[in-house]
Amino acid sequence: MGKFLLAIAAASLSFAVQAQTYGAPITLEQARKVMAAAEAEARKGNLNLSIAIVDTGGHMVLMQRMDGAFFASAAVAGDKAWSAAAYRRTGKAFQDRLATGGAEIRILRLRGANPIEGGDPIVVDGRVVGAIGVSGGSGEQDGVVARAGVAALK
């Protein structure tokens, strides 16, 4: 059943321009660059956030929670990163699709999908090497920080 749902999802959700394959999993050194850029963006906005970076299997490589971030943000950052890695698309893409309503509410049934801005695949040379998840601010704020992190490897 799970596989069946995923198959439907893969067929019907290929709407955004995105990297279609995975590359070599992100190294700790690369993850540290992503983290530094994301953290700098968070501090610029005076935000206390959790930031998580996962590899191509959705497994954690690097994570940190800034002082003052609520504890749920730690788990949510990981969830957003997992979703972005697993589906190779941003939380914002799911969020926008969901907001169109109607049958798109089915996105809420996708295993592990997090339809909230702040999760982005990390793409190097056109391939997904991992993903970043940010939580603790508004979705928009989390999204800005996540994209700043991704940009560090471009």
Tell me if 75 contacts other proteins by CB under 8 A.
yes
The nearest distance, CB 25 to other proteins, in angstroms, is 9
What single-letter DSSP state applies at residue 16? S
Q: Of 42, 126, 118, 34, which Cα lies nearest the Cα of 81?
A: 118
Q: Of 150, 154, 153, 140, which Cα lies nearest the Cα of 47?
A: 140
Judged by CB under 8 A, the chain residues 34 through 73 that form the site for other proteins are: 50, 52, 55, 57, 59-67, 71
CB 119 within 8 A of CB 3: no
Tell me if 27 contacts other proteins by CB under 8 A.
yes
Comparing CB distances to other proteins, the nearer of 13 and 52 is 52
The nearest distance, CB 20 to other proteins, in angstroms, is 22
The residues that touch other proteins, with contacts defined as CB under 8 A, are 27-29, 31, 50, 52, 55, 57, 59-67, 71, 74-75, 78
